[in-house]
Amino acid sequence: MRRRLLWIAVLLYSLLHFAATGVRQPLANFYGDFLASFPAWKVASLAGRLDLYAGSLARQWGPPPIWHYGPVLHLITIPLLSFPSLRSAYLAWLFVNYAFVAVTAILAIRIIDDGRPTLTTTLAVIVVFCNFNPLYETLTQRNIELFELMLLFAAYALYRRGRETACGAAIGVAAMAKFLPLIYLPWLVLKRRWRALGAALAVIVPIAIVTQLVLGWQHSGILLQLRGGSFLNSELNQSLSGVVVRLVQWTHSGLSVATISRVLIVACLIALSALMLRLRRHEGIEDLEYGLLAAAMVLLPPHNQNYYFVFLLLPYLLLYARYRTCWSWRAALLALSFVLVAVPIPLSVVQRFTGLDAFSLYLRAGIPFVGAALLVVVLLAEIGMSCALFGSEQPCPSKRPSRISAPS
């Protein structure tokens, strides 16, 4: 009885949290990275809707012919150009993003319960989604990461069911939405999932060719940023390079942020590659590998935003599938990591009672990065425990797991 009352209380809190931060906050917002990328000048010009582009944030941040994000964003948002105003299109896009979130949650439930959803898992996923601050930041700005997240959950579900072609196609579309999921292509090579790799490339290559003909890769805002180094000095940057920037500032060191960041990022990528190479023949840990790659694509870019951490829902829920029936120090560390990244209590409430800019303090202290780093520790520890990584090189004998920036 007490457990049922606790579930009811937590569920009610979660739904209230969603109403305030997932509905009220996005409806009041008309600013963010999506509006800095939509509409692209060339697409608006071809559609005869330069009136939407004139005076837009996209015009300020990317004067013609610069375009931002991946080409898939500009493809799937073409219907928004039919709306009478940019504000009405932005409102409609919010409801499309609600659909992305709902489908993602359904996929997560089915993955965890191996296609046979239970009430407990359904409630757990609802609570996780409704109390995950990076999800609210992404939803508030209507960023394309929610579309990518849905595709990555779908790709994993398809992978576990042996539907390699569909899995690869999903990864390919996600990669061309904003490039980060390209990290999964080398993993498919190591796993010898040639049909998945072929399907991903069959999606990526034609889109890349058409993009060059229509938008021109030489005008890509992301590529132009990368050429300039893209190491941003901003509290919103919660990547490894963001930590380097803050440490250099706090210590008043004269060291080069760009040089240190590049060395650390390359070292981490080499270590990740070596680990994945060693794991390539192990079975039953695909969920851990998939989750670790999601963490890497969040933490290792030259810069990120706190809303990138929405991708960490992948490893959090895949690990939940492993730990829901047993408790260990790794599960406790995972819970701590989740609290640091998710911030279940809205920081706007903390600010209201303390008068402090809680969200800014939270970011400047690098707490999201710390939480994500703890998640990486849990993933690595679980890989080591599951596969006796430092002992036998034989395939893991362990059980197969279940198939599985606006302040709040």
**Tens of pLDDT along 366-378?**
999 999 999 999 9
Asked if the model's pLDDT at residue 402 lies above 50, the reply is no
Q: Is the residue at 393 inside a domain?
A: no
Q: Is the residue at 407 inside a domain?
A: no
**Which of 268, 267, 290 lies closest to 191 in space, CA to CA?**
290
Q: What pLDDT, on a 0 to 100 scale, did the predictor assign at position 396?
A: 38
Q: Is the residue at 363 inside a domain?
A: yes
Q: Is the residue at 222 inside a domain?
A: yes
Q: What pLDDT, on a 0 to 100 scale, did the predictor assign at position 299?
A: 96
Q: Is the residue at 225 inside a domain?
A: yes
- pLDDT, mean of residues 205-218: 97
Q: Is the residue at 341 inside a domain?
A: yes
List all residues 6 or more positions away from 257 whose beta carbon is below 8 Å from its beta carbon: 231, 233, 241, 244, 245, 248
Average pLDDT, the chain: 91
* Phi, psi at 102, each rounded to 5°: -60, -45
Asked if the model's pLDDT at residue 389 lies above 70, the reply is no
Taking residue 290's Cβ as centre, other Cβ atoms within 10 Å add up to: 21
Per-residue pLDDT tens digits for 266-309 = 999 999 999 999 988 888 899 999 999 999 999 999 889 999 99
Q: What pLDDT, on a 0 to 100 scale, did the predictor assign at position 392?
A: 44
Q: Are 348 and 408 in contact (CB under 8 A)?
A: yes
The CA distance from 64 to 266, in Å, is 34
- pLDDT, mean of residues 89-117: 96
**Which of 178, 113, 186 lies closest to 143 in space, CA to CA?**
178
Q: At 395, is the pLDDT very low, low, confident or very high (cuts 50, 70, 90)?
A: very low
The CA distance from 186 to 189, in Å, is 5
- Number of folded domains that form the chain: 1
List all residues 6 or more positions away from 234 whose beta carbon is below 8 Å from its beta carbon: 242, 303
Q: Is the residue at 155 inside a domain?
A: yes
- The encoded tokens of residue 31 equal 């600013």
Asked if the model's pLDDT at residue 341 lies above 90, the reply is yes
pTM, 2 dp: 0.92
Query: HSE (CB half, 13 Å, CA atoms) of 369?
Result: 22
**Which of 273, 290, 266, 264 lies closest to 369 in space, CA to CA?**
264
Asked if the model's pLDDT at residue 398 lies above 80, the reply is no
- pLDDT, mean of residues 20-38: 95
Asked if the model's pLDDT at residue 313 lies above 90, the reply is yes
Q: What pLDDT, on a 0 to 100 scale, did the predictor assign at position 27?
A: 96
Q: At 69, is the pLDDT very low, low, confident or very high (cuts 50, 70, 90)?
A: very high
Q: What pLDDT, on a 0 to 100 scale, did the predictor assign at position 388?
A: 63
Asked if the model's pLDDT at residue 401 lies above 80, the reply is no
Give percent of the chain with pLDDT exceeding 70. Answer: 94
Q: Is the residue at 359 inside a domain?
A: yes
The CA distance from 191 to 25, in Å, is 42
> Quick one: the chain helix, strand, coil %, rounded to 5?
70, 0, 30
Residue 381: domain span: 2-387
Q: What pLDDT, on a 0 to 100 scale, did the predictor assign at position 406?
A: 37
Q: Which pairs count as long-range contacts for 180-183, CB under 8 Å and 24+ apart, including other chains?
A: 180/148, 180/297, 180/298, 180/301, 180/308, 180/311, 181/148, 181/151, 181/152, 181/297, 183/293, 183/296, 183/297
Judged by phi (left if over 0) then psi (alpha if -120 to 50, else beta), residue 163 lies in beta
Taking residue 309's Cβ as centre, other Cβ atoms within 10 Å add up to: 27
Alpha-helical segments (H) within 113-163:
119-130, 133-141, 145-160
Q: What pLDDT, on a 0 to 100 scale, did the predictor assign at position 4?
A: 86
**Largest pairwise CA distance in the chain:** 64
Asked if the model's pLDDT at residue 109 lies above 70, the reply is yes
- ∠ at Cα 197 (196, 202), nearest 5°? 100
